[in-house]
Amino acid sequence: MALFKCPECGHAVSEFAQTCPNCGCPLTPLHDQERGTEDHYPKTEAGKTDEKELETAKTRMKYEADEKKRANRGLIAIVIILIAVVCAGAALYIINTMNEQAETEKKLEQLQNEEQEQNDDQVKEDNADDQEDAEPAQDPESSPEDSIVTDDGTVIEPPPEEPE
């Protein structure tokens, strides 16, 4: 059983009531109108439209239309809120994913830099070892300009000068 407000006094009335129990406002024509069995306007016993009943019927129809609009507004508000929540969630997910990706790229770059530094250090050590092995002990009296290097990398020293 549904209750609605009386268009005259605002008292809660059953959907099956013929008149409002509080103020006596006739309600039957509106119920029949909703069911589609009678005219839209209440009529008196003589069949003529009563102005008071007509006003009541118009007020009731307006009230019911307003109720439907309010119900639609509530539904629209709920849908808008849900859309906003979904958009906010999607934005947070995208931002979080981008931050994780940036952190991963930074870590990868740091690892690559560390690996490159280790390789550079190893190359420097290898070059230093090779230079120590390749450098022959030079005679303090001979100068490097006097020595000759052959194609196979052999160093030929000039004969020592004889002291005078």
What is the per-residue pLDDT across 114-155, written as a single tens digit (0 to 9) for each?
999 999 989 888 887 777 666 555 555 545 566 777 788 787
Is 52 part of a structural domain of the chain? yes
The single-letter code of the amino acid at 153 is: G
Number of domains within the chain: 1
Answer whether residue 10 is part of any domain.
yes
For residue 124, being part of any structural domain is answered with no
Ramachandran quadrant class, 153 (left: phi over 0; alpha: psi -120 to 50; beta: rest): left
The parent domain of residue 84 ranges over 3-118
Residue 8 contacts by C-beta under 8 Å, 6 or more apart in sequence?
Answer: 20, 23, 25, 56, 59
The pLDDT of residue 48 is above 90: no
